[in-house]
Structure 1
Amino acid sequence: METYSKKSMENVGGSLPLAEYEAAIEKTDMFLSDDITPVLLGLFGEVGSIMAATKKYRREEKAYTGYKESVEEEFGDALWYFTAICRRFDLRISDIFEAAFNNNDLKTISANDSENAPISQIITSEKINDLDETFIALGCATAKLLKVNKNTDQNFECLVEFARIYIQSLQAIGLSFAKVARENIKKAVGRFEKPITSTLPDFDAEFREEEQLPRNFEIEITQRDSGQSYLRWNGVFLGSPLTDNIRDPDGYRFHDVFHLAHAAILHWSPTFRALIKHKRKSDPIFDEAQDGGRAIVVEEGLTAWLYSYAKDLDYFEGHNGVSFDVLKIIKKFVNGYEVHECPLNLWEDAILQGYEVFRQVKKYNGGIIIGDRERRTLRYRKIGEQYES
């Protein structure tokens, strides 16, 4: 895994050895090694998502601007499940794809120097089938996999057939096999493996201290008799007093906690940065593109959307994880901003820590919020109590 991170993760173009892909995602497989049913169902679901996205594209055409990116992700997820199936039969996908290439009319493929994975990316073929015809064939090949049993020869043939049509489907849309695999590694590893602290992004380390988010901070949140909440840092009030701004009070007046969680754990919060006037004005590009009004709206909108979702989950009380679908939506939400570099696992950590503190603030109508960017932690202390590190 470490070899991949240092080598191929930085290689944004070119081929990718399939053996390396297998090794990189193996630790992200959380299913039981002897249970193939959920993996088969997962593959079936991803292929269904590919077909659904294609149907939508055919209906809306240019109006569906995110088609290629969406279907690229679904193909990556399908590859993940396909690899997990092969793993349960002690088969390597490099062998499966090589067998598929040797038994069809594919003409030209890229080659790797790696002896373990000589084939990685399709360049062209003599014939690319009609899109509808190819996807129907992909669905049929997936359905056959649902019937795999202990008959090894039959399993191998079904897997080879799926691999062959999978590649034809990529060609029919015009997707790079290597890019699909590489992006899937980033997604899977970012979701399931705890990140190495030294490899995590620090977006303002190269800026002057007055343009950085504070490395350590204590923010006091209080609620007045009016029901409004106030934010104070180093004795200075920040921003405007907040109410819930909704007919049925739900505690959203304390939502600044989530901006503080973003700052401490993700090292990102254009909202908090603006409140304390620590925008990176020495660099006009950062000042406008990363710290400006649009970035603030993105963070505020994301926070409000997630809050509505969290209300139905008791604000994540008793939860030790966040839905993968929610995390994927978040990544799309922040696309184009520096925080997009943060792995999904770190986003999950920020959400769970933020809501743990929020529940305390909501319970006691205020408190001291303690952020530590070095440790990437957010903690709560009652007003008047001492904090034990």
Structure 2
Amino acid sequence: MQVAHYQQFVRHTNQFITKPRDEALSIAMYGLVGEIGQLVAAVKKKVLGEGGETNWDQPNDEIREELGDAFWYLFAAAQLANDGPFDVLTGDIENLRAEIGGTDERARTIAAALDPQARTDFMKEAVRFPESPDFLFDDYQKLAFKTARTDGKVLIEVCQAVLWQLGAELLRPSLPAIEIDLNQNVADRPTNVVLGEIAWHLSAMASLYHLSLDNVIAFNCTKVSFRSERGTPTVLHDEARDPKEQFPRCFDVSFVRVGPGQSRMYFGGRPLGDDLTDNFYDDDGYRFHDVIHLAFIAHLGWSPVIRGLMKRKRKSGNNRVDEVEDGGRAKVVEELVIKAIHSEGDRQARASGRCIVGQPTRLFPRRSLINFRLLKTLRMYVEGLEVWHNTYWEWEDAIFAGCEMFHQLCQEMQGTVHVDLANRRLTFEPIVSPNVQGITVGLGMGAAVLAPSDCEVKKMLSTQERAATAQSRLAYVLAAKRALLGALGLEAASEAYWSQIEVRLDDMNTLYVKARDKALDRAWALRAVDYKAAFIESAGSVLCTATAIADVADVADISK
């Protein structure tokens, strides 16, 4: 990886570079010190936990990732501190050459600690470093390591301790004057010198873990790019299939409450799978996790679970696709992926104090919380499956949108999710109209004048209902609300029930309903999951006939 290219990459991906200089520099400095802490923690876990003495120098993904993150902030800090690109690596080599080639006591002490041949080689090569403006990180890494005064596990411990010290030195200028005066145990040196020494110790740690610095930086570019460089979405995995074996390109799924802590998905007027419960001691809303499957469809074009429920498995042609991509193992993997997402989001929420008793918690409220490590883990789970080819940013979109829909469902306890594969998008409405072809379990009638008074409208309709209804349709919604209350066996004239049913009516007179409190209890008692309405205008009024519809299977259960 060319250092010059990485300079450009960091500048291009620096999202805080447009902030005032001092603020941006502060973000970069604190970011660098934070990444040093993360790196030290990763190394300590390796040394103390994963094999300890026997394989302390074997790298893992966490160490590689933290090294790359530290270098990104290092370069960002150098650019901001110098008001433009600054070659911190070349600067460090120049400082090392001056230090090692000096004649003072410090230079003599360093010379005594260095291997004589390594010192000679370094001084000879450092004079002409870099030999080309296109020099690589590995060029710096190999040359800088010749100046290491210790090696092995001792040097790892030295690097960790010195990096902490350098971090403190880096932040020292931000202290109040009195604190700088009173705390003289931390040196005052130019920022570029400190950044160069940080680069040396990060590079040395990479060498000790047998990591090419070029590869570390290349991996960091891949990680950072997934958010900043969004390309064309991956071609839908069933694009070449018969339409009967494809996901519908636009469709709605309704999540309907059918009992306390119990929901059901409807697609095309039919139940989509079994009734949903949390399967947990606490009401954590996990019964709504199927909406994340829908997010996978919208943003990844993938969900073996929903494909099976929709009976759109790819059985024609190569039956290995049906077995591998749409079979039981792939379904288990998908459920594992969603559980991992939910668990990580919940862990973060608890750690940051965002969990409030009695309220649903928004998982991953910011995209930046969907860390790269989680994305890598999920891609590891799906390795060998078609969805492995989807990009990191598509995974991020799927997780973010899915968790947003999940949160809204947990808040509303019901809703309609619109899946748009053509535009890779999900949208949510808190009301439902599953279009069930079932059995009538309630019938009611209601009327309203075609020009209702403002007083009547404000009394019967909520702010949300009024905002969603055109002026010319207000009478229809009023009549529908009265008819619906009658269909549920409730007194339409009772103001106590008006706020317990929320009604929306589209241009085709499709009813979208949300019930609560006694109205919801009554709907559950009737097993009503959907509602139909018919209208007729007469003599300046509109008359509505509403029916409450139960699923045939539910009524059959009652009769047994």
Match status 1:304 vs 2:339: yes
The structure, 1 or 2, with the larger RCO (C-alpha pairs under 8 Å, 6+ apart) is: 1
Counterpart mapping for 1:233-252 below 5 A: 233-252=267-286
- The alignment covers a number of residue pairs equal to 367
Deviation at 1:26, TM superposition (A): 2.4
* 1:177 paired residue among 213, 233, 248: 213
Structure 2 unaligned residues grouped into runs of 5+: 98-117, 175-186, 434-504, 509-560
* 2:432 paired residue among 374, 383, 387: 383
- Say whether the 8 Å CA contact 1:315–1:355 is kept in structure 2: no
Comparing 255-264 with 223-232, greater Cα deviation is found at 223-232
Q: Compared with structure 1, are the counterparts of its residues 257 and 54 closer, same or farther at alpha carbon in structure 2 (3 Å cutoff)?
A: same
Counterpart mapping for 1:127-276 below 5 A: 127=146, 129-137=151-159, 139-141=161-163, 143-148=165-170, 149=173, 154-191=190-227, 193=228, 195-196=230-231, 198=232, 200-204=233-237, 207-209=240-242, 210-225=244-259, 228-276=262-310
Match status 1:34 vs 2:25: no
Comparing 377-386 with 90-99, greater Cα deviation is found at 90-99
Deviation at 1:208, TM superposition (A): 1.1
- Say whether the 8 Å CA contact 1:254–1:362 is kept in structure 2: yes
Match status 1:368 vs 2:416: yes
Deviation at 1:82, TM superposition (A): 0.5
Q: CA RMSD in A?
A: 4.0
User: What amino acid does structure 1 have at the position aligned with 2:64?
Assistant: E
User: What amino acid does structure 2 have at the position aligned with 1:59?
Assistant: L
1:332 corresponds in structure 2 to 377
Task: For residue 256 of structure 2, give the secondary structure of its aligned residue in structure 1.
Answer: strand
| Per-residue CA distance 1:207-247 (angstroms, 9 max, x = gap) | 41444433222223223247532223223432222212123
Q: Please, what TM-score do these two structures have when normalized by structure 1?
A: 0.77
Q: Compared with structure 1, are the counterparts of its residues 181 and 315 closer, same or farther at alpha carbon in structure 2 (3 Å cutoff)?
A: farther
Q: Compared with structure 1, are the counterparts of its residues 46 and 85 closer, same or farther at alpha carbon in structure 2 (3 Å cutoff)?
A: same
| Per-residue CA distance 1:5-41 (angstroms, 9 max, x = gap) | xxxxxxxxxxx22222222232433444323334323
Q: Compared with structure 1, are the counterparts of its residues 225 and 207 closer, same or farther at alpha carbon in structure 2 (3 Å cutoff)?
A: same
**If you compute each CA radius of gyration, which structure gives the higher value, 1 or 2?**
2
Deviation at 1:132, TM superposition (A): 3.2
Match status 1:118 vs 2:151: no
Comparing 209-218 with 257-266, greater Cα deviation is found at 209-218
2:87 corresponds in structure 1 to 95
Deviation at 1:99, TM superposition (A): 3.5
Task: For residue 28 of structure 2, give the secondary structure of its aligned residue in structure 1.
Answer: helix
Task: For residue 30 of structure 2, give the secondary structure of its aligned residue in structure 1.
Answer: helix
- Say whether the 8 Å CA contact 1:220–1:367 is kept in structure 2: yes
Deviation at 1:317, TM superposition (A): 5.3
C-alpha separation in 2, matches of 1:336 and 1:305:
10
2:45 corresponds in structure 1 to 56
Q: Please, what TM-score do these two structures have when normalized by structure 2?
A: 0.56
User: What amino acid does structure 2 have at the position aligned with 1:334?
Assistant: R
Deviation at 1:175, TM superposition (A): 0.9
